[in-house]
Chain A
Amino acid sequence: MKILVAVKRVVDYNVKVRVKADNSGVDLANVKMSMNPFCEIAVEESVRLKELSIKEGRVATEIVVVSVGPSTAQEQLRTALALGADRAILVESAEDLTSLAVAKLLKAVVDKEQPQLVILGKQAIDSDNNQTGQMLAALSGYGQGTFASKVEVSGDTVAVTREIDGGAQTVSLKLPAIVTTDLRLNEPRYASLPNIMKAKKKPLEVLTPDALGVSTASTNKTVKVEAPAARSAGIKVKSVAELVEKLKNEAKVL
C-alpha cells in the first residue's frame, strides 16, 4: 500500500503574528516557520501504518510526502523524511495558493502516484480554511474521513472514527480514500539526529504547477488584512465577593 501525505509550511504555532502596516497581509519576514501541527500528525499516522504493516508481515507501505509551496518548504519535506517518509515531492509555487488550487495540484500528484490512502491535516493554522482534504476527495471522487481520531485499514477499506460536534462518529470508506487528521489521532514523534542525516539522502523531486498542467487561478481575492479589535484592559478583583458584585452590578451578566 502506498500512502501520500500532504504537508504545509506555516508560521510556527507559538508565534504571535503581526499584521503589516499596509494591510496587505501578515508579516512573515524573519518569523519562525514550521510544519503545520496537523500535518505532523498526518506524517506520524502514515509512519505508524507502515510500521504496523511491517509488523504484521504485509507488504511494507511506501510513504510519499508532498508539499505545495515555496522552495523553502523543502525544509518541512526533509523533516517529514526524517520522521519516516520514504521520498518527497515539492510542487513549487511562490504565490499564495487557495485551497482549491492546492487540491487540484494534489489531485495531479494523486493521479501520478496512485496512492491507496491520502492523509492530510484537517486545517492549516495560518489560513484556517479546513477545505483542502475535502476538495481533493471531491476532485478524485474518493470517500473522505475528515477530523479523524482513529484510522484502521483492513483489506480494501478504512474505518475512520471522526470527531463531530456531539461526540464521535465512525465511517467506513472504500480505498483509495482521503483522511484528514484531528489533534487526538496520535502524538507525533521527534526526529532523531541519525534520521535527520539519513533524510538528507532521500529523494526529493521538484515539480511545478505548469508541469502538472494545473491552473491555479482563483475566484477569491483578499482585499485587506487587519488586526482584530483589541479588547480593552480589564481589572483585577481582590475577592470572590467583589467579583460577584462586579458581575451583577457593573457588567450585569449575572
Chain B
Amino acid sequence: MTILVIAEHDNKVVAPATLNTVAAAVKIGGDIHVLVAGQGVGAVAEAAAKIAGVAKVLVADNAAYAHQLPENVAPLVAELGKGYSHILAAATSNGKNILPRVAAQLDVDQISEIISVESADTFKRPIYAGNAIATVQSNAAVKVITVRATGFDPVAAEGGSAAVEAVAAAHDAGTSSFVGEELAKSDRPELTAAKIVVSGGRGMQNGDNFKHLYALADKLGAAVGASRAAVDAGFVPNDMQVGQTGKIVAPQLYIAVGISGAIQHLAGMKDSKVIVAINKDEEAPIFQVADYGLVADLFEAIPELEKLV
C-alpha cells in the first residue's frame, strides 16, 4: 500500500494541516509519498522531504499549478494517483476544492473530513453538523479522502529525509484563470492551529468592540474567531468564522464570548478540550457544552479577564 498526500502550501511554506494529513496516512499504514504542485516550490519540496514518515516527495513545478486551480491540478493528481491505494488531502478550502474533482475523474466516491481511521478502508466522519458520526467503508481501488486536521495530532515537521523527484506532467485545461486575491493579514496565530481561541458573537454589538477580544487574545497568545452572526453583521471578515461552514477548531481552550451556541457554531468548536462561555443570557445553549460558564455582561467581564490572566 502506498499513500499519496497532497501538500497544502502557498508556494513558500508547507501549511501545518499537511502534518495532520500525514498523521492520518501513518494511521492507515504503508509508504507515504507527498505531492507538491505549484510554481517555484523548491523550498516547499525541501520542507516536505523533512516531514517525519514521508518516503518520497513528488514535485510538479509548473506555471499552470501556480494558484492550484483545480481544473489543472486535479488531472495531475488523478493521473499520478492511479498507482496509489489512497489519496489524501487536508480538508482546507484548497483540499475541498480539488479532491472531489480528482475522485470524479477516477470514478470513485470520496470520503470527506475524516476524523479517525478505523482500518485501511474504514473511516469515521461527522455528518449533520457533527450531530452524528458515520462509519464509512470504501471498496474503491483508490480511496480519495479529505482529512479534518483537528482529528489527528500532527507528525513532526523535522526528522525525515525523503527523496525528492520531479514530475514532468503539465496539465493546463485552459478553462479557468487566476485574477487576484485579498488575504487578511494578522500577527496572531492561525485560527485552526491555535492552542487558545477567543471568539465573539452577536453580543459584541459592533466590529469596534472586537478590540476587547483582540487585547485579551494578545495577552493569551490566542487566535480570534467569530460566529456566523458576527460575520454576517459585518463585525469581522468571514475567514474568522468558526462553524459547520467556516473553520473547524479544537484548541486546548475555547472562550466563547456573546455567542448563543447555535448548532452551526457548535459543529466548529465542540471538540475543544476546555470550553468557556461568557454570556449574559443564562439560558443560552452554549452553556450546555461549556465546561465553565460565566453569566455576566461581556463588556465588564472581558477587561477584567484581561487584567487577571
In the bound complex, residues from chain B placing their C-beta under 8 Å from that of A138 are: 74, 100-102, 104-105
In the bound complex, residues from chain B placing their C-beta under 8 Å from that of A228 are: 126, 130-133, 270
A30 at the interface (CB under 8 A from B): no
Of A128, A168, A228, chain B has the most CB atoms within 10 Å of the CB of A128
Check B101 against A251 for contact (C-beta < 8 Å): no
Check B293 against A235 for contact (C-beta < 8 Å): yes
Binds A, one of B51-59, B90-98, B151-159: B90-98
Binds B, one of A65-73, A77-85, A139-147: A139-147
A247 at the interface (CB under 8 A from B): yes
Check B293 against A126 for contact (C-beta < 8 Å): no
B140 at the interface (CB under 8 A from A): yes
Distance A219 CA – B109 CA, assembled complex (angstroms): 6
Checking B109, B136, B239, B252 against A99 with a beta-carbon cut-off of 8 angstroms, the contacting residue is B109
Interface string of B224-252 (1 = CB under 8 A from A): 00001001100001110000110100001
B169 at the interface (CB under 8 A from A): no
Interface string of B98-128 (1 = CB under 8 A from A): 1111111101111111000000001000111
Binds B, one of A51-59, A191-199, A206-214, A236-244: A236-244
Chain B residues within 8 Å of A, Cβ to Cβ: 67, 69-71, 74, 92-94, 96-105, 107-113, 122, 126-140, 173-184, 192, 196, 220, 228, 231-232, 237-239, 244-245, 247, 252-253, 263-264, 270, 273-276, 282, 287-296, 301, 304-305, 308-309
In the bound complex, residues from chain A placing their C-beta under 8 Å from that of B93 are: 147, 162-165
User: Which residue of B is nearest A163, CB measured?
Assistant: B238
Task: Given A219-B108, A219-B140, A222-B136, answer yes or no on A134-B308 (Cβ-Cβ < 8 Å).
Answer: no
The minimal Cβ–Cβ distance linking A113 to chain B, given in whole angstroms, is 19
In the bound complex, residues from chain A placing their C-beta under 8 Å from that of B97 are: 134, 144, 146-147
A21 at the interface (CB under 8 A from B): no
Check A246 against B138 for contact (C-beta < 8 Å): no
Check A237 against B183 for contact (C-beta < 8 Å): no
Check A131 against B245 for contact (C-beta < 8 Å): no
Distance A172 CA – B192 CA, assembled complex (angstroms): 29
Binds B, one of A1-9, A86-94, A177-185: A177-185
Checking B126, B184, B239, B276 against A247 with a beta-carbon cut-off of 8 angstroms, the contacting residue is B276
Task: Given A98-B109, A167-B183, answer yes or no on A236-B287 (Cβ-Cβ < 8 Å).
Answer: yes
In the bound complex, residues from chain A placing their C-beta under 8 Å from that of B96 are: 130, 134, 146
Given A143-B173, A228-B132, A235-B291: 8 more A-B contacts, CB < 8 Å: A14-B263, A17-B132, A128-B129, A146-B96, A172-B179, A223-B135, A226-B135, A234-B290
The minimal Cβ–Cβ distance linking B22 to chain A, given in whole angstroms, is 19
A159 at the interface (CB under 8 A from B): yes
Task: Given A16-B131, A99-B100, A135-B103, answer yes or no on A172-B112 (Cβ-Cβ < 8 Å).
Answer: no
Distance A188 CA – B176 CA, assembled complex (angstroms): 28
User: Can you sample 18 A-B contacts with CB below 8 Å?
Assistant: A17-B132, A103-B104, A123-B245, A126-B127, A128-B127, A131-B100, A133-B100, A135-B100, A135-B104, A147-B97, A165-B94, A171-B67, A174-B175, A224-B135, A234-B292, A236-B295, A237-B293, A254-B220
The minimal Cβ–Cβ distance linking B29 to chain A, given in whole angstroms, is 20
In the bound complex, residues from chain A placing their C-beta under 8 Å from that of B253 are: 247, 251, 253-254
Chain A residues within 8 Å of B, Cβ to Cβ: 11, 13-14, 16-17, 19, 26, 98-100, 103, 122-123, 125-139, 141-147, 149, 159, 162-174, 177, 182-184, 218-228, 231, 233-241, 243-244, 246-247, 251, 253-254
Task: Given A131-B103, A159-B179, answer yes or no on A225-B129 (Cβ-Cβ < 8 Å).
Answer: no
Distance A172 CA – B102 CA, assembled complex (angstroms): 21
In the bound complex, residues from chain B placing their C-beta under 8 Å from that of A233 are: 288
Distance A221 CA – B104 CA, assembled complex (angstroms): 17
In the bound complex, residues from chain A placing their C-beta under 8 Å from that of B98 are: 134
Check A126 against B128 for contact (C-beta < 8 Å): yes
The minimal Cβ–Cβ distance linking A186 to chain B, given in whole angstroms, is 12
In the bound complex, residues from chain B placing their C-beta under 8 Å from that of A220 are: 109, 111, 136-138, 140
Distance A146 CA – B176 CA, assembled complex (angstroms): 12
Distance A144 CA – B101 CA, assembled complex (angstroms): 10
Check A166 against B103 for contact (C-beta < 8 Å): no
Check B273 against A253 for contact (C-beta < 8 Å): yes
Distance A126 CA – B301 CA, assembled complex (angstroms): 37
Check B175 against A173 for contact (C-beta < 8 Å): yes
User: Which residue of A is nearest B220, CB measured?
Assistant: A254
Check A222 against B275 for contact (C-beta < 8 Å): no
Lowest 10 CB-CB distances: which A-B pairs, in order? A134-B100, A143-B175, A138-B104, A219-B140, A135-B104, A131-B100, A143-B176, A234-B291, A170-B179, A167-B183
Check A223 against B69 for contact (C-beta < 8 Å): no
User: Which residue of B is nearest A159, CB measured?
Assistant: B179
User: Which residue of B is nearest A132, CB measured?
Assistant: B100
Check B176 against A19 for contact (C-beta < 8 Å): no
Check B128 against A240 for contact (C-beta < 8 Å): no
Distance A228 CA – B274 CA, assembled complex (angstroms): 17
